[in-house]
């Protein structure tokens, strides 16, 4: 194998291209019209236009991708995650075109994609599953009988589902009909198949998944687990390994079960078996993901293995030969998404104006962003994965805080403030969180000064940063000012202007409310002033405007004198 086409974009395309190049392969990128200047395109040896922006016409366009593979002479295709990675028809087409598919056999993808079949296969290979049934349910009466048998609550799930869609929880008999019909409707709408099945519903479980590798010679390896319990609305935010609280005995049992689940469908290549772990520490098979997962990086940091390298070696027919794998230390991954955690995690597409990644000991950033990169609503909003390693969980948490505070992103909102909040939460620090915890227990406080300066309402404002020296010491000050947005910085509406200083106490950054000329200055630097007292007079459009102090305190910085012209939003003085 000397060449590979990477049928993906974003951070995972970058990730795969890097390892393929490390291994001396010729790398072939594909790009949609929006991604012509993307990082993965620059890093690959060659790049081919796969079509217009919508994924259906580009990264999901099977025939077009196969044609590019043929035209470019690619010997293999790596699908990354998402897009075509778990499409068994595409995997089969690749196999039938005599191109190496860097992934599991099409039949294994199909078997695991059907949740009833995968449950049945796992069960028949001795893998513990949640109490439930291995056949679709077709009537409400059947669901009622099963609920009596297992006890309420029960879960009604889409047979071809995943990601929480088509999942309904029934806690009492009265909800049965609604839940059953709702689950069928949703299953039909999302997955084109109304088939549903029933399981006992586990309340507040942890989500723990096992990384496995299988080669084509019958060898299998379990590479440890990942805890993905910090998630909201089925979107994972933080993943870590090892899982807090899992004993060595439980870990071994989980690994054995994961390998048995893989064997049950003839698995080859890298895969992940998902389990729910209940409050007693018992674990149950949930489903198997037949792809490389976003969070594979934490496994890499503790094992020292490159999982993409092993995917490629296995695909080329090599025998799995890892020696003894001895995981070392603790790793955590933080998904840096373009979304606003202060506004219900609403996606925030736009141009990234500033992008400074953390670095240093134990820090890895897998990203596709550069200053100027535009994040579009056409694809997912993962900007980067921050992955940290520490000798133990406490060290990893400490390092994560350090790295997250080094991360500087402007132009789009990110999940960084949410991560910092989680890292300071006792439940997380003690490892007491579960899959419902984020939604139940983590609320972000908009006025937290370590996170973001307070924003004035009503007026159109934009965030500005500046540095000041007070008594020979340097301080960074952020404030909101009425001004045109600085390169894509979002405008917001809020009441009264207010800002926060380095100490977190409310300081007054006094800015020009409009463009004009300073005609008089009432105060001097170092003097004290009270709220509402005038600082200077600003003339604009033949009108004189008094600029007043927003706070009582000392004028630590005075930046204007009579005759100066100031732009709207320019700093006039700082009151501490
Ligand atoms: C469950 C469950 C509790 N009991 N099944 C949600 C997504 C789908 N893949 C399976 N899911 C769940 N199935 C039983 N019998 C709780 C969830 C669940 C969940 C699972 C993993 C990670 C996050 C979750 C969040 C809510 C519910």
Cβ(155) – ligand 1 distance below 6 Å? yes
Pick from 164, 190, 275, 289 the residue to mutate for probing ligand 1's pocket: most ligand atoms within 8 Å of its CB: 164
Return the sign of the alpha-carbon dihedral for residues 162, 165, 169, 173. negative
Per residue in 193-248, pLDDT (tens digit) is: 999 999 999 999 999 999 999 999 999 999 999 999 999 989 999 999 999 989 99
Region 311-321: what's the mean pLDDT? 97
**Of 258, 249, 204, the residue nearest 226 (C-alpha):** 258
Q: What distance in Å separates the CA atoms of residue 393 and residue 371, rounded to the nearest whole number?
A: 32
Token output for 486 = 């600085």
Contacts 24+ apart (CB under 8 A), 542-548: 544/519, 545/513, 545/514, 545/516, 547/510, 547/512, 547/513, 547/572
Name, in order, each residue with C-beta under 8 angstroms of 133's C-beta and a sequence gap of 6 or more: 146, 197, 198, 199
Region 324-333: what's the mean pLDDT? 97
Per residue in 514-555, pLDDT (tens digit) is: 888 899 999 999 999 999 999 999 988 777 888 999 889 999
Number of the ligand 1 atom closest to the C-alpha atom of 154: 15
Higher pLDDT, 45 or 450: 45
- Among protein residues, the one with the nearest Cα to ligand 1's atom 24 is 435
What confidence score (pLDDT) does residue 483 get? Answer: 59
Region 392-405: what's the mean pLDDT? 98
CA 5 – ligand 1 centroid, Å: 34
What confidence score (pLDDT) does residue 458 get? Answer: 58
CA 164 – ligand 1 centroid, Å: 7
Per residue in 453-477, pLDDT (tens digit) is: 455 555 677 778 888 888 888 988 8
Three-class SS of residue 323?
A: coil
Residue recorded with tokens 């003690």 = 430
- Among protein residues, the one with the nearest Cα to ligand 1's atom 12 is 164
Per residue in 57-75, pLDDT (tens digit) is: 999 999 999 999 999 999 9
**Could you tell me the domains of the chain?**
3-102 (3.40.50.20), 131-200 (3.30.1490.20), 206-328 (3.30.470.20), 336-456 (3.30.470.20), 459-491 (no CATH), 509-575 (2.40.50.100)
DSSP state letters, 115-148 = HHHHHHHHHHTT--B-SB-SS-B-SHHHHHHHHH
Q: What distance in Å separates the CA atoms of residue 115 and residue 166, rounded to the nearest whole number?
A: 12
Region 268-274: what's the mean pLDDT? 98
497, pLDDT greater than 90: no
User: Contact at 8 Å (CB) between 239 and 211?
Assistant: no
Pick from 151, 152, 167 the residue to mutate for probing ligand 1's pocket: most ligand atoms within 8 Å of its CB: 167
504, pLDDT greater than 60: no
Q: What distance in Å separates the CA atoms of residue 451 and residue 279, rounded to the nearest whole number?
A: 34
Cβ(229) – ligand 1 distance below 6 Å? no
Instruction: Tell me the sheet residues that pair with 569.
Output: none
Q: How confident is the model at residue 94 (pLDDT cuts 50, 70, 90)?
A: very high
- Beta-strand relationship, 528-529 and 534-540: unpaired
Q: What distance in Å separates the CA atoms of residue 65 and residue 30, rounded to the nearest whole number?
A: 8
What confidence score (pLDDT) does residue 457 get? Answer: 55
Could you tell me what percent of the chain has a pLDDT over 90? 76
Per residue in 130-163, pLDDT (tens digit) is: 988 888 999 999 999 999 998 999 999 998 887 7
- Among protein residues, the one with the nearest Cα to ligand 1's atom 6 is 164
Q: What distance in Å separates the CA atoms of residue 517 and residue 318, rounded to the nearest whole number?
A: 75
What confidence score (pLDDT) does residue 530 get? Answer: 94
- Among protein residues, the one with the nearest Cα to ligand 1's atom 19 is 435
Cβ(146) – ligand 1 distance below 6 Å? no
Pick from 227, 275, 276 the residue to mutate for probing ligand 1's pocket: most ligand atoms within 8 Å of its CB: 276
Residue recorded with tokens 């897998």 = 366
Per residue in 181-193, pLDDT (tens digit) is: 999 988 888 888 9
Three-class SS of residue 313?
A: helix
Number of the ligand 1 atom closest to the C-alpha atom of 287: 9
Average pLDDT, the chain: 91
């Amino acid at each position: 194998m000397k060449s590979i086409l990477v049928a993906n974009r974003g951070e995972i395309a970058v990730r795969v291209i890097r390892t393929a190049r490390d291994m001396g392969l010729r790398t072939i990128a594909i790009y949609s019209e929006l991604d012509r200047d993307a990082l993965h395109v620059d890093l690959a040896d060659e790049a081919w236009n796969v079509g217009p922006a919508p994924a259906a016409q580009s990264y999901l366009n099977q025939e077009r991708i196969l044609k590019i593979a043929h035209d470019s002479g690619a010997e293999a295709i790596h699908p990354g995650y998402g897009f075509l990675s778990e499409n068994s028809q595409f995997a089969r087409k690749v196999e039938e075109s005599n191109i190496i598919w860097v992934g599991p056999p099409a039949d294994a993808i199909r078997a695991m994609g059907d949740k009833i079949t995968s449950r049945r296969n796992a069960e028949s290979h001795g893998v513990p599953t949640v109490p439930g049934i291995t056949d679709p349910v077709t009537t409400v009466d059947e669901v009622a009988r099963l609920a009596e048998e297992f006890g309420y609550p029960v879960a009604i799930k889409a047979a071809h589902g995943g990601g929480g869609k088509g999942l309904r929880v029934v806690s009492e008999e009265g909800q049965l009909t609604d839940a059953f019909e709702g689950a069928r409707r949703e299953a039909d709408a999302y997955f084109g198949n109304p088939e549903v099945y029933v399981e006992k519903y586990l309340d507040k479980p942890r989500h723990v998944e096992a990384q496995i590798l299988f080669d084509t010679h019958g060898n299998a390896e379990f590479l440890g687990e990942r805890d993905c319990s910090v998630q909201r609305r089925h979107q994972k935010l933080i993943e870590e390994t090892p899982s807090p609280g899992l004993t060595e005995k439980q870990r071994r049992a989980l690994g054995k079960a994961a390998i048995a689940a893989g064997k049950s469908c003839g698995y080859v290549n890298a895969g992940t078996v998902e389990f729910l772990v209940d409050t007693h520490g018992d674990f149950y098979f949930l489903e198997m993901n037949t792809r490389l997962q976003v969070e594979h990086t934490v496994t890499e940091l503790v094992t020292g293995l490159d999982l993409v390298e092993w995917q490629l070696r296995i695909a080329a027919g090599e025998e799995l030969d890892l020696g003894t794998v001895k995981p070392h230390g603790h790793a955590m991954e933080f998904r840096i998404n373009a979304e606003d955690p202060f506004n219900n995690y609403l996606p925030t597409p736009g141009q990234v104006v500033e992008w400074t990644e953390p670095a240093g000991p134990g820090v890895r950033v897998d990203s596709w962003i550069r200053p100027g990169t535009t994040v579009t609503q056409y694809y997912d909003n993962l900007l980067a994965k921050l992955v940290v390693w520490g000798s133990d969980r406490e060290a990893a948490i400490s390092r994560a805080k350090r790295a997250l505070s080094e991360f500087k992103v402007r132009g789009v909102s990110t999940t960084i403030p949410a991560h910092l909040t989680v890292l300071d939460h006792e439940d997380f620090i003690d490892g007491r969180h579960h899959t419902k915890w984020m939604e139940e227990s983590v609320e972000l406080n908009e006025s937290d000064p370590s996170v973001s300066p307070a924003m004035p309402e009503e007026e159109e404002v934009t965030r500005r940063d500046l540095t000041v020296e007070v008594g020979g010491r340097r301080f960074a000050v952020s404030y909101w000012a009425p001004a045109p947005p600085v390169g894509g910085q979002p405008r917001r509406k809020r009441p009264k202007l207010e800002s926060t200083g380095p100490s977190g106490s409310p300081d007054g950054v006094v800015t020009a409310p409009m463009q004009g000329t300073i005609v008089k200055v009432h105060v001097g630097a170092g003097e004290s002033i009270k709220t509402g007292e005038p600082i200077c007079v600003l003339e604009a459009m033949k009108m004189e405007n008094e600029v007043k102090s927003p706070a009582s305190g000392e004028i630590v910085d005075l930046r204007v004198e009579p005759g100066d012209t100031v732009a709207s939003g320019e700093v006039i003085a700082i009151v501490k």
